[in-house]
């Protein structure tokens, strides 16, 4: 264990530019997260977690939609990788990891999001951010009753 620690500190001593770059990346990630999280939480439709999943039928050329989905997924994968690295390096690893997962499309994503929202502290923070933005509380499926301003909905509703 001592050898690994010594190699790590030797690498840090030998690469001050890389360490400074990682510290700058950490600061930029922290600032971007602090700015983006309140905006994203406030912009979520109140029924986001209770409406039935729908296929995206947006306007525009199908190749453009595909290219944008691929770009979104690539950015998500990049953030997941950077977030994982920042768990061991300086940086906001967990926030970056969660932001990356939010951009990715994968089976069980909704279940993961609801698992996070089951945390009382998360529900309170979300409710506070939405109140501050003048937005209605999020409607959540049964079982995620709110004592913190996030309303529960009895069943999923069709998207208008």
115 to 53, 95, 136: CA distances (angstroms) = 17, 16, 21
Averaged over 14-29, what is the pLDDT?
85
pTM above 0.75, yes or no: no
What pLDDT does residue 56 have?
58
Residue scoring higher pLDDT (157 or 135): 135
Element (H, E) at 28: helix 16-43
Report helix, strand or coil for 25: helix
């Amino acid at each position: 264990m001592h050898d690994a620690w010594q190699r790590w500190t030797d690498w840090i001593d030998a690469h001050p530019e890389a360490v400074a770059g990682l510290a700058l990346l950490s600061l930029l990630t922290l600032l971007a997260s602090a700015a983006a999280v309140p905006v994203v939480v406030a912009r979520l439709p109140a029924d986001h977690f209770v409406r039935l999943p729908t296929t995206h039928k947006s306007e525009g050329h199908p190749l453009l939609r595909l290219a944008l989905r691929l770009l979104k997924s690539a950015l998500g994968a990049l953030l997941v990788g950077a977030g994982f690295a920042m768990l061991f390096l300086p940086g906001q690893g967990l926030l970056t990891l969660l932001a990356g997962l939010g951009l990715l499309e994968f089976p069980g994503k909704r279940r993961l999001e609801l698992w996070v929202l089951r945390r009382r502290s998360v529900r309170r923070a979300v409710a506070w951010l939405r109140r501050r933005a003048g937005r209605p509380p999020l409607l959540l499926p049964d079982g995620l009753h709110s004592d913190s301003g996030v309303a529960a909905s009895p069943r999923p509703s069709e998207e208008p």
